[in-house]
Every structure is written in C-alpha cells, then in structure tokens.
Structure 1
Amino acid sequence: MPLRDWLLAIALFSGGTACVIWFLYVYAIKRRAKLSGYGEDELQKLLSPLKGNGRKQIERLYGKCYEIMSNIPGISRYTQRIRRRIAPLYSYDESMIRMETGRITLLAFLIGWLTAGFVFLFYPDVSYMLMILLGSLVLHGILIDTLVHRAEDRLLRQMTEFLSDVRHFYHQHGMVDEAVYDAAQIAPRQLSLHAEAVYGTLNSDHPERSLEIYYEHAPNRFLKSFAGVSFLVREFGDKLLPHGSMYLHALSKITSEIRLEILRKEKLHYLLKGLSVIAISPIMAAKPIEAWARHNFPAMDEFYTGAAGFAVKTGIFVLIIVCFVLLRKLQDTAEETGSRRTGRKPPEQKWLGNRLVNAVTQRVVPAVHSMERGRLQKLLREANSPLLLEWLTLRRLLTGLACFLLVLGMFLIMQRLTLQQVYFSPTRNQAMFGSLSPQEKRKALETAAFDRNVIQKLERSGRELREMIAEEMRQQGFQPDPTVLNTAGERIKAKLDSIAGAYLSWRELLFCFISGWAGYHSPVWLLHMQKRMRRMEMKNEVDQFYTLLTILAHFERMSVEHILEWLERFAVLFQSPLSACLLDYEAGADEALEKLKEEAAYTPFVRLVERLQAAVNHIPVKQAFDDLEAEQQYHFERRKQDYERMIETKAGWGRWIGFAPMYALVFLYLVIPLVYMSMQQMNLYYQQIGKIS
C-alpha cells in the first residue's frame, strides 16, 4: 500500500473520529442546556474535559503561540491584525487578549494549511494548489470573522444579564455606583472588566475625563450608553417618573435595544450562514469535476487542457472572489467600519507617500469644484466609507491596472496552451472515438510528433507543405501515398491555421481595455452597493436614536449640544455628519443643524434634526420629544416589521450571490462544454456513417 494511501487513511480515520466526538459533545451541551436552564457558554465550561490545570496549560500554550507568531516577520502583521480586531472586546485584560489572539491565529492557520495539504494529497497540481492556497486565505477571513462575531454576540448576551443584576442591586442600595460594583462581581470575566472600568469612572476624581477615555475603549455603543446614563444619574440624581425610576427606565430601554440587536444578528447570521463557504467551494470542487468528466467523457480532455477550459476556470475564480467580497459587504453587521475600529489605515495612504504614485493620482483626481468630485464625496459619505477621495482614486487606478494585466495575462496563457495543444496533444483520426487504447494512444502521439517535425521544418525552409510531408515520410521509411499525403496535408494545414490564429488580436486587446475600465469603476460600484446596504440600516439607527432620546429627554440639564454629543457617540452611519455638526455648533447652532440636514439627507433623520432645531429656538428639549413615549409601542412593532423585511431582502440577495459560483462551475465548466463536445462527436459519427453508406 503506497505511503500516500496510508497517510490518507490515517487522516480520514482521525478526522472522522474527531468530528463524531465533537458533534456528540455539542449535542450533549445543547440538550443539557435545555434541561438544566444553564446558558450554553456556562454549561460548556462546566462539562469541558479540560479543567483546572489542563485549561490553564492550554491558555498558556495559546499565549506562547502568540509570542512566537508575533516575532515571525511574515506572520506578525497577520497576528497584530487579529489582535486589533478583538482588543476592544477584552479591554483591560492583556492576558486574555494574547490568549484569544493566539487561539484564533493558530486555529486559522491549522485549518487552512490542513485543508490545503489534504487536497494536495488527492490532486498534486501546482496551479490547482495555488488556487487552494488563495481559497485558504479566504477561509481564514471567514473563520476569523466567525470567531470575532461569536465574542461580540457573547458580550451582548452577557450585558442583558448584567443590566438585570444592576437593576436588582439598585433596588437594594439606591446608589448607581454600588449597584454597578455588585453586578460586576458576579458578571462573566469578559464583561466584568468593562463593568469595573465603568465603576472606576463613576468614582474617579475627574469623572468626565475618565468617561471620555472609557468611550474610546468601549467595545459597543450599548456599553457607552450605560456608562453615560449611569454617570448622569450619579451626578444629577434620579427622579420618579409616571412609569417608575428614571434610571431603571433607561436600563429597560437599553436592554430592549440589546435584545432586539441580538435577535437581528442571530436571524441574519442564520439565513446567511454557510453562504461564504458555498461561494468558495468551487475552488475545491473544480478538480474533482474535471477528473470525473475526463474519466467518463474522454472527449472533454480537449476542453480542459485547452485555452477555453483555462479561460472558463479563470472566469469562475474571479467570480468567486467578487461574490465573496459582495457577501462580506452583505453580512457586515459590525458597529464600526473595520479601519475605524482598529485605527488601521488603508494601504493607499502609505502608497501615496511615493512621489510618482502621488503625482499620477493627483492628475486623475477630479478637480476641486467639479461635479464629479462632489458626487464621489457624497457617495463616500452615504456609503460610510473611511476612504478619502485620493485613496479611492488610487484604489480605482490599481484595480483597473490589475484587471487589465489579469485579462492580458489570461490571453497570453491561452495562446501558449493553444500552441502546446497543437504541437503535443495526441492527434486522433476520424476513426478514434471514446477512450484510446494504449496502441491507439501511441499511434496518436507518433502522428503528433510527425506533424510537429513537419511544421518546424516548414517554418525554417519555407518549402511547399505537400513536399515537406513526403520528405518526412521518406525519412521515416514510408513510401508517400497520395491518399495519406492528402489526409496529412489537411490535418497539418488545420494545425497551421490554429498556430496562425494564436496571437493577440485587436478584439482581445479591446477586451483587455474593457476589463480595465470595469476594474477602474468597480470600487465605485462596490460603494453603491455598500450605500444601498447602509440605506437599509439607516432606519434602524434612527429608531435607536429615538430610543436614546426617550432616555435623555428626562434629564433636566440636557441641552441640544449634549444630545448631539450622545448621538455622535452612539452613531455608526451618521457619525461623520454628526461630528462635523459638533465642530460647527459653536459658530452657530442653526447653521450647524441646517448643514447636518444637507449632509445626511435621509428623511427620518431630517425630521429628528428638525425637532432639535425646535428645541434650540422655541421649546424645551423634553417638550420637543414628549410624544415619543406615547408612540413607543407602535414604533417598536414597526421596527420589528422593518427588521423582517430588511433581513429577508439581504437573505434573498445572499442566496443568489452565494450560489452563483457553484452554478457557474456546473454549467460553464461541465454541462455546456459537455453538450458542445457531444455535438461535435455526433457530427463525426454522422460523417463516418455517411462515408460508410
């Protein structure tokens, strides 16, 4: 038994056993969680086979992996990128950040490289291996997103329990800071660190400055709201409203928003779950489909080894990348754009430091007062993109150049494959159908070598084709026969026509420029899609603003400027225009609010700003928003309906985008070529039958 088969058998047995054990373990966790009332996270810790020293050893191993990977030149940047993503979730706990970073990085590398190695056992092909490695990189991104989103969702679920504990202890003590402290002592570790930070802020000598520092480290806007409301109640006191305590009322509002956010994320993730893996699965499925088709339909060899097969395979791979990027944009439920959360700048900013690159970019950037510049800047704001116009222009130039070179390289490789197929592929005669026997294959290879020698000598000497064929036959010991000469002449002439057509034509060059044009505009098209996705999320954020305003309106010393500060801290999609409004507010409140309405021209948000304008000029803040409490139930039911429509729309788009590469692989790489090659075979059959009759 070969070594590869032994390794494959061991890997399959080990992997199958591990999967069975893992599925049984997860099933036991879920079943016990339903029966006992524990949460799955808590029960998983109780039933974990690693307890005490074993768990500590594993955590130390992850920490050691983090230290090792942080010192490896190529992997250190990748490790720091993961660290930046999870650091806000585990603020104030460096050991937990290191441990989680090491765990996620190690798991991503193991899964990616083991998948690539397992596939290489089956198909040791260099070009296919490169595609698998790129697929592994994509799989890394999916895995990291999944692990980070799990940590974010776990923190939100812990917050609902924490706020219930704060409510309970506030009933006992009647003091905000003591309630927060007692609730922090029984909270899970991930949340308890944030709760202790909030308690430290409330008891700081300079609470306002400490609160601003905490806002910078808070992992989500709900913790920011909780910290801010707790600070206001501690500073200015609680008061009794018709429906109870103002502070407890605020906690109920925040809890409702958290639960609604959890339900929205869970349903969206459930409907879009697995689509990214389905989108990249054709990378691994292409080779098995090709092997099956070539084994069962030998005529498909000509397609898969030729230029057409390479072009289709390249097109499917590009489609996979495009669909994966679109799915990432569709599934983006993060509260902030990645570069804003992590403080990481796009690479375009660094590249613009080069004089030549900067000079070329500045020549392409639209003029200062042009309509194109205003349109692109408006698009960047509406898409909530962190890019500057110069960065976007450089990205467009690089994407267009990459698409042009990719298509040009594809055509050049197709020409090379065409020449290789003409020179070296076994030459079948009209009597050969199906799979070739060893004798037929040897004869076909001899015919291909004969034709190759004739073509090479013909190119050097420039003599007549028929004369060169006859001379080659004499050199090989055969007597020239008129029938054989005619058949060989037609066959070689067809090959010469194929060789003559293997050059870069003007049509192909035109297609290269069209691809470059499409690549140049693709970042703008992506921003339009992102704008449409953000448009669907805007209503959700405005409704959350109104919920926040029902809390803030009850504070006596609340002004419009303070409300704008709160909205800016809580905002995601409207953060940029709100920040600009706050900067201009001192110069004139009316002018700043009018500019805010122009920059964020979304009707529900404009109505909210108009209420703020009324609170500036005519009526108190509480009176401007006095109808929100009465319409709370209606707004809540309407929001749930809006969520349902938004989620169903995203799920429909996600299914089409996720399955598009698989459909393309099945039809473009298997069905259509198979039908075409079958029709060619049928034509040959009919010609042979016609000659017999």
Structure 2
Amino acid sequence: MPLRDGLIWISAACAACALLTWVLYLSATRREAKQTGMNADELRSLLSPLRRSGRKQLKQLHIVIYAYLVRVPVISRYTQRIYRRIAPLYAYDESAIRIETAKITSCAILIAWLSVGAILLFYPDFSYMIMILLGALILHGILIDSLVHRAEARLLKQLVEVLSDVRHYYHQHAMVDEAVYDAAQIAGRQIALHAEAIYTLLTSDQSETRLEAYYESAPNRFMKVFAGVSFLVREFGDKILPQGSMYLHALSKISSEIRLEILRQEKLHYMLQGLTIIAIAPILAAKPVESWARNHFPAMDEFYSGSAGFAVKSGIFVLILICFILLRKLQDTSDEAGKQRRRKPPEKKWMRVQVIQRVVRRFMPNDRSAEFTKIDRLLREANSPLLVDWLYLRRLILAAASFLLLLSIFMGMHILTVRQINFSPTRTAVMFGVLSPQEEKKAAERTEIDRAIIEKYNQGGGQLREIISGELRSKGLSLQQTELNHTADRVIKKLRGISDATLSWWQLTLCFISGWMGYHSPMVLLHIQIRMRRMELKNEVDQFHALLSILSQFERMSVEHMLEWLDRFAVQFRAPVSSCLLAYESGAEEALEKLKEEAAFVPFVRIVERLQAAVSHIPVLQAFDDLEAEQQYRFEQRKQEYERMIETKAGWGRWIGFAPMYALVFLYLVIPLVYMSMQQMSTYYEQIQKIS
C-alpha cells in the first residue's frame, strides 16, 4: 500500500474511533440518567469533582511535558523563547508559566506534524511543500500571538477588578497596603500574584529598591503606575481634593485608561483578526484551484506545468509574505511595539564578526555626514530598535536574498521549460481538449522519439534529418517526406525552446532590480512604521495627560521625577525621554529644549513646555492645573480619534489581507484561462481555414 493511502486510512480510523467514543459517552450518559431518574446535565454535574481531578492531572502532565521539552536539543531553545515571552504575564508563578509554555509548544509541534502530514497526503509537489511550510510558520505565529493577547487582555480586565476592590477596601481601612492585600486575596490567580508582589514591596524595609525591581518585571504600563502611585501615597500620605481622596481619584483615572485601552485593543484585534488567515488562505486554495482548472480546462495543464505557472505561484508566495508582515505591523499596539524595541535584534550578534563589519562599513555613510544623521533620525522617529549599522546590515541581507530569490525563480523556470519540452506529451495540430487513451499513447511515443533525436543531436550524432530518419526507421514508422518534415519542424522548435531556456540579460537585469528593491525595502518599512506610529502618538500623549494630572497632585513631585515616570510609562517617546533624563543633571532647560527638538510632535511639545515652566517659573501643580478641567472633553475626543484610527487601519488591513486572494483568482486562474482560451481559439480558427 502506498504511503499516502496508508496515512489516509490511519487518519480515517482515528477520526472514526474519536467519533465512536463520543457517541458511546453520550449514550452511556443518557442511559444512566434514565436509570437514576436524573437528566443528563445533573448527571454531568456529579462528575465535576472528577473533572477537577482531571484538570489537576492535566496540569501535572503539562509540567512533565515542559521538563521533557527543555531537554530536547532543537526544541529546547524554542521552548525557552516562548517561556521568556509569557513570563511577565505570569510573574511569581513558575508552575503557571511552565504549563502555558508547554501548551503553546505542544500546539506548535502539533501544527508542525499536521503540516507535514498534509504535505505528504495532498501536496507532494516541492513548490507546494514550501508554501505549506510557510503557512504552518504563519499559523504558528498567529497561534502564539492570539494566546499571548488573550492572556494580556485577561490580565488587564483582572486589573480593573483589583482596582475596584482596592477602592472598596481603602474606604474601610484608609491604608494602602491593607487595601492592596485584601484585594489580592479575592482576585484571580494571574493578577493576585502581582498584587501580592506590590503589597510585599509596600511593606518592605527596602521599598524603593523593590519598586525599581518590580518596574523591570511588570507586565504592562498600568501595573507600573498602580504600584508607583500606591508607593507614593503610602510614603507621603493621601490628600483630600475637591473630588475626594487623591488616591481614589488616581485609581479612577487608571481604571478609565485601562478600560479605554481594553476597548481599543479588542476592537482593533476584532477588525483585523481574520485578515491574516485570509491572507494565507491562497496557500491552501492554490492546489484545489489548479486541480479544478486542469479537470475542466485541459489547456490550462500547459500553463500550470510550465514556467509561467511556476513564476505566478512564486509571486503569490512572495506576496503572501509581504502582506503578512504588513498586517503584523498594523496589528501591533503600543505595548507590543515597546516589547519589540526591547528585544535584541539578530544584527547585533552578526555585527561582531569582523568580516561582516568591514563589508557593512563600506556601504554606510560617514558617522558625521548628513546622510547618517538623517537615517538615525528616521530610526528614532520609527521607534526602531536598530542602529544605523544594523540597518545597513539588514538592507544588504535583504538585497542579497531578493537577488538570489528571483535568480532561483528564473533558474527554476528554465528547468521546468526544458523538462516540459522533453517529457510533456507532444500534441499534433488536430489534438484538442482531453486526449483519449490512444491519442495520449501516440503523444507519449512522439515525445520519446523527439527526446531521443534531441539527445543524439546534442551528442554530435550527425545531420538532423539523418538522425530523424534513423530514429523513425528504428521505431518502424513511416519515412515519407511529409512525416520527416513534420518531425524536423517539431524537433527544431523544441531545440530552439531548449536553447532559449538560459539566463538572458533582461532576466539578470530584473534580478538586480529585485536586489535594489530588497535593499530599499527596510527604508520603506521604516516610513510605514512612522505612519503607523503617528496614529499612536496622540494616544500616548493623552495617556501622559492622565498620568501627569495624577502626579501633579503630590506636593514633593519635581520635574525630574515626572520625567522618570514618563520614561517608565512611555513607548513611542521612550528614546527621547531617556536621552533627556541622562542630560538633565547637566542642565534642565537645555535637556528639555533638546527633548522638544527630538520629539517634535505638537501635543507632546506642549507637555514639555509645561515642564519647562515648572522648572523655574511656577509650581508643578500650577503648570498642570488645567488638565483636570479638560479631562472629560479629552476623554470624548480620544474615543472619536480611536474610532477613526481603527477604521483607517481596518481599511488598510482589508486591502492588504485580500490582495493574495485577488492575485490567486486573477493571476493564477482568470487571466491564464482567458489567455489559453484565446490561444486555443486561434488554433481552432487556423484549422478551420485549412479545412476550408
């Protein structure tokens, strides 16, 4: 039995066993319910202790799986990478981190095995193997992102509940640490561990040191603000404002910001979540489309088996990659962009190699040139983690990869052309549509004769007509002049096709153009990131307003302390704010003026001007006293801006997400079908003219 049939039978048997088990379970439950007089739901409720025991055993199983995965040579590094990504979400709970890591890694391995099985069963072609593997990698990325996003959203929702509980217990105790402790006791496990960590740092003798350590491990910005504000209130005391308690008012603002962030992320992910699947759908749809076209339009077989079909298929492959990258950029929220910035790019390690460093230096502009300054500013505006030399290394790698990719596509097209000439059934002028078995046999024999003639001719076996006569004589075929002429014309046409299947000057030129486009693609991506970032800048400035209105109420708050808070909370403005903090000791006015130049976004510049006024002219509270009055207006304005931003991203996402499907339908089916139909119609017309 062939491997494919065997795998199909095994898969069918497993599915049948699973279905039979489920049917037996349902029938047993109903029969037991009839005997006991209870309905099926009541009977299942009695099994809940067993289910809890089963969940406990499942957790133990995941821990065992994790211990096994970290020992496997290849999978261990991947497992550790997943571990590092989800560790901040489940801080202080090692078992939960290991269980989630084992779940994600197991799902990834399962997807890999299913992809390999799908390739062996349905896509034995090499090009489709590559495309299916690409789809598996993309699905793996989507799986990890969805699981991490779900955990992050759950943490934010639990944080809102914790803040509400802290408000309730603060009314009872009027003590920050006790309120946080009581709220942690009734909170969900994921957020309770963070709340307990905040309680520990509040009651510690080294509160400031522990607070700085918590800032490094906090899963999001809002946890940092909650921990920091709780620490300040415990250290310096609460204050009664016209709105009530300063601490409770701060908690209300933090809760409002979290709710707005949850709504924004949920709507953005809802609008874009299915587009990535749609973008990679052509990977799975290409083979069924091709099979349908081959079965209903036999003339399409020549297109799909030839170099043109291979070129279009490769183009769709590249388009899917580009669309997936662009969709990931659209889906990135501000927190995700900050995590990517903290991640170490691989170029940092590669630049340690002296040979690579010398090559990159030859392409880079001088450190003191205007071009270097321009690119460095572009990287900072895009909030990119790359340095200028790392960027040029990436540009060179993409240039070489683009050049080699297109060159390999052209080489593959030539190989397919030669293979099609040598092995495809040779049709005569009167053969149309689907060939009968007799016609297919004659066409195969004709191809074999032509291949033998071409091989002898290429080996220097003499004159072409002598070779044709000898080959026809050896096959016992007719040696009439008409047959000799037809065979000679056919072989000459094939020889010309084989001789033309070489790399030409225009193909090499296209390869260099592809390399040039690959070289400039990181710069284009930076400009796209800048445009995406500008949509997030106003959002972050509005969050700064809420944060500064909270901080300005503390009597001992200074401008430098405010900058430290902005540095912890910022994502888009982190680089310029960090530079300002480093230069603040040398001169506050000069550092703030430089901050205005580096982050030339008008709403943020207004914040910096307030800080400049608070340095030497007016108190901090007076500099930010109008933020509270404008809070309601700004909040409503932000809702409208969020709606516009999400609609804009969703519109771009729809165009990008459906582009591969449009390419598959039109470039891989409709246009080739029309072209082949027109070509076949012209052949019909020529034959009709000859008959008449």
Q: TM-score range by the shorter chain?
A: over 0.9
- Residue range with higher mean Cα deviation, 500-509 or 330-339: 330-339
Once the two structures are superposed, residues 153-172 of structure 1 have per-residue CA deviations (whole angstroms, 9 ceiling, x without a partner) of: 00000011100000000000
1:399 aligns with 2:398: yes
1:318 aligns with 2:321: no
Is the 2:461–2:467 contact (alpha carbons within 8 Å) kept by the matching residues of 1? no
Query: Matched residues in 2 for 1:193 and 1:398: separation?
Result: 44
Letter in 1 for 2:157: R
Q: Which residue number in structure 2 is paired with residue 28 of structure 1?
A: none
Query: Matched residues in 2 for 1:123 and 1:198: separation?
Result: 54
Alignment of 1:199-348 (within 5 A): 199-333=199-333, 335-337=335-337, 344-348=343-347
Alignment of 1:612-623 (within 5 A): 612-623=611-622
Please, which runs of 5 or more residues in structure 2 have no aligned partner? Answer: 25-44
Once the two structures are superposed, residues 277-333 of structure 1 have per-residue CA deviations (whole angstroms, 9 ceiling, x without a partner) of: 111111111111111111111111111111111111111001111111111111011
Shift of residue 561, structure 1, vs aligned partner: 0.5
Shift of residue 613, structure 1, vs aligned partner: 0.7
- Residue range with higher mean Cα deviation, 420-429 or 57-66: 57-66
Query: Matched residues in 2 for 1:308 and 1:86: separation?
Result: 45
Alignment of 1:82-121 (within 5 A): 82-118=82-118, 120-121=120-121
1:611 aligns with 2:610: yes
Q: Which residue number in structure 2 is paired with residue 567 of structure 1?
A: 566
Query: Matched residues in 2 for 1:626 and 1:254: separation?
Result: 18
1:7 aligns with 2:42: no
Query: Matched residues in 2 for 1:16 and 1:398: separation?
Result: 50
Q: Residues 255 and 577 (structure 1 numbering): CA distance in 2 closer, same or farther, change over 3 Å?
A: same
Is the 1:327–1:654 contact (alpha carbons within 8 Å) kept by the matching residues of 2? yes
How many pairs does the alignment contain?
669
Alignment of 1:446-595 (within 5 A): 446-461=445-460, 463-595=462-594
Query: Matched residues in 2 for 1:648 and 1:669: separation?
Result: 31
Letter in 2 for 1:370: S
Over the matched positions of the two proteins, sequence identity in percent amounts to 66
What CA RMSD, in Å, does the superposition of the two structures yield over aligned residues?
A: 2.1
Alignment of 1:120-199 (within 5 A): 120-199=120-199
Query: Matched residues in 2 for 1:378 and 1:513: separation?
Result: 29
Is the 1:272–1:654 contact (alpha carbons within 8 Å) kept by the matching residues of 2? yes
- Residue range with higher mean Cα deviation, 281-290 or 309-318: 281-290
Is the 1:339–1:345 contact (alpha carbons within 8 Å) kept by the matching residues of 2? no
Alignment of 1:380-399 (within 5 A): 380-399=379-398
Shift of residue 251, structure 1, vs aligned partner: 0.3
SS in 1 for 2:124: coil
Query: Matched residues in 2 for 1:650 and 1:524: separation?
Result: 21
Is the 2:83–2:97 contact (alpha carbons within 8 Å) kept by the matching residues of 1? yes
Q: Which residue number in structure 1 is paired with residue 31 of structure 2?
A: none
Is the 2:535–2:645 contact (alpha carbons within 8 Å) kept by the matching residues of 1? yes
Query: Matched residues in 1 for 2:81 and 2:649: separation?
Result: 28
Query: Matched residues in 2 for 1:545 and 1:122: separation?
Result: 54
Letter in 1 for 2:76: S
Shift of residue 378, structure 1, vs aligned partner: 1.0
Query: Matched residues in 1 for 2:257 and 2:63: separation?
Result: 36
Query: Matched residues in 2 for 1:338 and 1:120: separation?
Result: 41
Q: Which residue number in structure 2 is paired with residue 647 of structure 1?
A: 646
Is the 2:115–2:133 contact (alpha carbons within 8 Å) kept by the matching residues of 1? no
Once the two structures are superposed, residues 50-104 of structure 1 have per-residue CA deviations (whole angstroms, 9 ceiling, x without a partner) of: 7332111111111111111111111111111111110000111111111111111
Query: Matched residues in 2 for 1:645 and 1:19: separation?
Result: 48
Letter in 2 for 1:357: I
Alignment of 1:13-52 (within 5 A): 51-52=51-52
- Residue range with higher mean Cα deviation, 473-482 or 501-510: 473-482
Shift of residue 462, structure 1, vs aligned partner: 6.8
Query: Matched residues in 1 for 2:119 and 2:389: separation?
Result: 42
Shift of residue 525, structure 1, vs aligned partner: 1.1
- Residue range with higher mean Cα deviation, 368-377 or 81-90: 368-377
Once the two structures are superposed, residues 404-436 of structure 1 have per-residue CA deviations (whole angstroms, 9 ceiling, x without a partner) of: 111111111111111111111100001111111
TM-score by length of 2: 0.93
Q: Which residue number in structure 1 is paired with residue 65 of structure 2?
A: 65
Query: Matched residues in 1 for 2:666 and 2:608: separation?
Result: 53
Once the two structures are superposed, residues 379-422 of structure 1 have per-residue CA deviations (whole angstroms, 9 ceiling, x without a partner) of: 11111111111111111111110111111111111111111111
Letter in 2 for 1:637: E
Q: Which residue number in structure 2 is paired with residue 54 of structure 1?
A: 54
Query: Matched residues in 1 for 2:47 and 2:145: separation?
Result: 26
Query: Matched residues in 1 for 2:20 and 2:134: separation?
Result: 28
Query: Matched residues in 2 for 1:209 and 1:122: separation?
Result: 59
TM-score by length of 1: 0.93
SS in 2 for 1:430: coil
Q: Which residue number in structure 1 is paired with residue 682 of structure 2?
A: 683
SS in 1 for 2:302: helix
Letter in 1 for 2:170: Y
Is the 2:275–2:653 contact (alpha carbons within 8 Å) kept by the matching residues of 1? yes
Is the 1:169–1:182 contact (alpha carbons within 8 Å) kept by the matching residues of 2? yes
**Displacement over 6 Å in runs of 4+:** 14-21, 45-50
Once the two structures are superposed, residues 435-467 of structure 1 have per-residue CA deviations (whole angstroms, 9 ceiling, x without a partner) of: 111111111011111111222222233744334
Alignment of 1:366-381 (within 5 A): 366-381=365-380
Shift of residue 47, structure 1, vs aligned partner: 11
Query: Matched residues in 1 for 2:21 and 2:589: separation?
Result: 65
SS in 2 for 1:360: helix
SS in 2 for 1:71: coil
Query: Matched residues in 1 for 2:15 and 2:691: separation?
Result: 54
